[in-house]
Chains A and B, each alone.
Chain A
Amino acid sequence: MFAVLLLISGRATAAQTMAVSGNPGALHITTAVPGSQPTSVSNNTTTYTVTTPNANKTYRITAQINANMPTGVTLTATFAAPAGATSIGPVALDVTARNVVTGVPKSTNSTQNITYQLSATAAAGVIASSTRLVTLTVITP
């Protein structure tokens, strides 16, 4: 009985994992080309690391924020894909979990780049410093 329980416990720890390298620097829009919308800014200084177990299945990564962006302001994220997976490309983030990478193979252990872009329309007005919590999730389809 004791031996059986140890074996089961070992299988349970082989779940997929997701980690990030930290928080990106502030995204700060400060100027515009006259006649055009404010100039977007981006940050690509952070990475994510995804690991998947040796199970015969693929995984996907989703991203969402804890509150929608102000009207006229868009936060877009682009996640580079591990080998064998597919990046969805730029994804506008909101409170709905949205795929950013799909088809992550089994037995993956990969660190990839994250690029955030902030854009705003003139109609958005002035936005004081604010924060959003981005939640990245690796799950099976």
Chain B
Amino acid sequence: MTKRILSTIAFLVGAASAAPAQTATQTITFQVDAINQIAFSGSPSLVINTATAGSNPTGATAAATWAVTTNQTGAKITASIGSNMPAGLTLSVDLTAPAGATSAGFQALSTTSVDLVTSMTKLAQGALTVSYSLAATPAAGVVSSTTRTVTYTITGGT
């Protein structure tokens, strides 16, 4: 009888010394929204002040930079200006495309939006080049300093 009691005690002590792992739980809720963000830097100035004799005035160019982040597929960028250019003057812009996207090259700006970059898919890229070009015909005459605000819009894909 004594031997049986000691055996029982030894077994129970062994079980108590094996401290079990203790746990607690938390539920984490998370979400990532559609993100389409662009930024443009610089306020370029374009001046036409010469011509090759016999040709239209020599166009002017200027550069700036832009950056984009999109986590969607097939996003695109369009641009427009608040009021049309004077007759005989053409303001064009070209955006360097980020990796995997397509640039439409130089596009004349007007109050109607025009596609500049398409097929942007899930990327984040900065320090991209914006190239502006101003062209004039002799018929445009002398145009005093004026400004146009270019509005760029990114449209998310899917």
Please pick, from B12, B19, B24, B32, the residue contacting A20 in the complex, using a CB distance under 8 A: B24
Q: Are A36 and B29 in contact (CB under 8 A)?
A: no
- The verdict on A24 contacting B28 (CB below 8 Å), with A8-B13, A12-B16, A126-B71 known, is yes
Q: Are B26 and A46 in contact (CB under 8 A)?
A: yes
Map CB proximity to A onto B1-26 as digits: 1 under 8 Å, 0 otherwise: 00001000100110110011111111
Q: How far is the CB of A126 from chain B (nearest CB, A)?
A: 5
Q: Are A134 and B26 in contact (CB under 8 A)?
A: yes
Please pick, from A12, A29, A31, A133, the residue contacting B25 in the complex, using a CB distance under 8 A: A133
Q: Are B16 and A26 in contact (CB under 8 A)?
A: no
Chain A residue at minimum C-beta to C-beta distance from B128: A35
In the bound complex, residues from chain B placing their C-beta under 8 Å from that of A135 are 23-25
Interface assignment of B45: CB less than 8 Å from any CB of chain A: no
Map CB proximity to B onto A122-141 as digits: 1 under 8 Å, 0 otherwise: 11111111111111111110
Q: Are A8 and B12 in contact (CB under 8 A)?
A: yes
Chain A residue at minimum C-beta to C-beta distance from B34: A126
Query: CA A40 – CA B72 in complex, angstroms?
Result: 17
Q: Are B15 and A122 in contact (CB under 8 A)?
A: no
Map CB proximity to B onto A16-37 as digits: 1 under 8 Å, 0 otherwise: 1111101111111111111111
Query: CA A34 – CA B111 in complex, angstroms?
Result: 25
- The verdict on A5 contacting B124 (CB below 8 Å), with A20-B25, A34-B67, A130-B29 known, is no
Q: Are B31 and A32 in contact (CB under 8 A)?
A: no
Interface assignment of B62: CB less than 8 Å from any CB of chain A: no
Q: Are A140 and B27 in contact (CB under 8 A)?
A: no
Query: CA A15 – CA B20 in complex, angstroms?
Result: 7
Q: Are B19 and A133 in contact (CB under 8 A)?
A: no
Chain A residue at minimum C-beta to C-beta distance from B33: A30
In the bound complex, residues from chain B placing their C-beta under 8 Å from that of A116 are 28
In the bound complex, residues from chain B placing their C-beta under 8 Å from that of A103 are none
Q: Are A32 and B122 in contact (CB under 8 A)?
A: no
Q: How far is the CB of B21 from chain A (nearest CB, A)?
A: 4
- The verdict on A75 contacting B23 (CB below 8 Å), with A12-B15, A123-B122 known, is no
Please pick, from B19, B67, B69, the residue contacting A140 in the complex, using a CB distance under 8 A: B19
Q: How far is the CB of A94 from chain B (nearest CB, A)?
A: 13
